[in-house]
Amino acid sequence: MREMGWLALASVLCASCASVQSSDQDAAADAALADAARLDAGRIRLPDASRPRRDGATEGTGPPYPIVLAHGFFGFEDFAGVGFITYFYGVKDELADRGEAQVFTPAVDPFNDSETRGEELLAHVERILAETGAAKVNLIGHSQGGLDSRYVAHQRPELVASVTTFATPHRGTPIADVVLQLVDDPRFSSLADRLVRLIGAALWDAAGEETSVFASLGQLSTPGADAFNARYTNQPGVAYYSITGRTDRSDGGADCMVADAPPFIGRYRRTLDPVEPLLDIPEQIVDGGSADVANDGLVRVRDARWGRFLGCVPADHFDEIGQLFGDGPGWGNDFDHLLFYAELIEWLRAQGF
């Protein structure tokens, strides 16, 4: 149980996922030549919007574009070596069963800032485009994965059709502020001590010397988020959407109010979520002792709004990705994370992506 305790803060932007395997450069070049030959023969036609990419290759096919699920803090490919526990628990298989064959879950540095992680995600995106022949991707980022996705869209907007962030702390999270001792509030001192003990040395030991936990937490702090937002702005031609969760049996109040919420979110407006016990301490820090501060146990709703805000779902930070290990969201809550991702992607397809 102690091991699961530090997983709670690890989810200050949680993680997992299989790495993307792509064709090597020679194979990609051969495929491009073959496509050119078929084009000359009149058997295929590239989209009218085709234009050269930075790497000199020709842009590929239009929508529907591949889906890239970007994980958050504390990424892992194979949790505890069991071989079946993934960050977006069961999502890729569910989407495949529904006909979404081009869904990718690339793994990036589990502990680092979103410039470092974003560059790694960008490299995955470029390989995915080479592998699939698509012109762009749709990025769906959970928690810190949303910041990584925004970085990719800022650096290479021509490769990204849409960015959807889910429970991403665009304006930072009090958790990072407390751990980094950026707030001096006696109400939080004992909670902060307990939280650090929960994290324990395991989290830092797991990071080793090749990454930086503090770089990540620094960016997820309030001043770190402000600096990131100033530098990595939204880009024309990329659609930006955001969604987040609410827990502790809160209906979200005004923070979650959206006049045009899509049906796959609006159906849950009267559903409440009991907070995951492992998130009890972080949730107390995040809401600051006020029941009016809607949050998912790690990220406040008001900090997760970015671009077109689509609304809140009754889910804590674990429920949003089907964790822990596929268990349900709690008594009285019928939120289904597998259905959520399937319907989110259906909605993106209906928007032309």
What does pLDDT average to over the chain? Answer: 79
Q: What phi-psi label fits residue 346: left (phi over 0), alpha (psi between -120 and 50 degrees) or beta?
A: alpha
Kindly tell me if the per-residue pLDDT of 321 is higher than 90.
yes
Kindly tell me if the per-residue pLDDT of 248 is higher than 50.
yes
- Which pLDDT score, from 0 to 100, does residue 217 have? 78
Q: Label each residue of the chain as H, E or C.
A: CHHHHHHHHHCCCCCCCCCCCCCCHHHHHHHHHHHHHHHHCCCCCCCCCCCECCCCCECCECCCCCEEEECCCCCCCCHHHCCCCCCCCCHHHHHHHCCCCCEECCCCCCCCCHHHHHHHHHHHHHHHHHHHCECCEEEEEECHHHHHHHHHHHHCHHHEEEEEEECCCCCCCHHHHHHCCCCCCHHHHHHHHHHHHHHHHHHHHHHCCCCCHHHHHHHHCHHHHHHHHHHCCCCCCCEEEEEEEECCCCCCHHHHCCCCCCHHHHCCCCCCCCCCHHHHHHHHHHHCCCCCCCECCCCEHHHHCCCEEEEEEECCCCHHHCCCCCCCCCCCCCCCHHHHHHHHHHHHHHCCC
HSE toward the beta carbon, residue 75, CA cutoff 13 A: 28
Is 280 annotated as catalytic? no
| Distance between CA atoms of residues 37 and 20, nearest Å | 28
- Which pLDDT score, from 0 to 100, does residue 212 have? 57
Kindly tell me if the per-residue pLDDT of 35 is higher than 60.
no
Question: Whose CA is closest to 244, among 268, 225, 212?
Answer: 268
- Answer whether 0.85 is exceeded by the pTM: no
Confidence of residue 176 (pLDDT cuts 50, 70, 90): confident
- Which pLDDT score, from 0 to 100, does residue 193 have? 53
Q: Which of 109, 273, 296, 303 is catalytic?
A: 296
Q: Which of 148, 317, 319, 337 is catalytic?
A: 317
- Which pLDDT score, from 0 to 100, does residue 7 have? 40
Is 221 annotated as catalytic? no
pLDDT: is 333 or 36 the higher one?
333
Contact 88, 322 (CB under 8 A): yes
Kindly tell me if the per-residue pLDDT of 348 is higher than 70.
yes
- Which pLDDT score, from 0 to 100, does residue 285 have? 85
- Which pLDDT score, from 0 to 100, does residue 49 have? 37
Topology of domain 2-25+67-350, CATH: Rossmann fold (3.40.50)
- Which pLDDT score, from 0 to 100, does residue 110 have? 79
Q: Can you tell me the mean pLDDT for 21-50?
A: 35
Is 317 annotated as catalytic? yes
- Domain regions of the chain by residue span: 2-25+67-350
pLDDT: is 287 or 43 the higher one?
287
Q: Which of 143, 149, 221, 250 is catalytic?
A: 143
Q: What is the dihedral of CA 318, 290, 172, 66, to 10 degrees?
A: 40
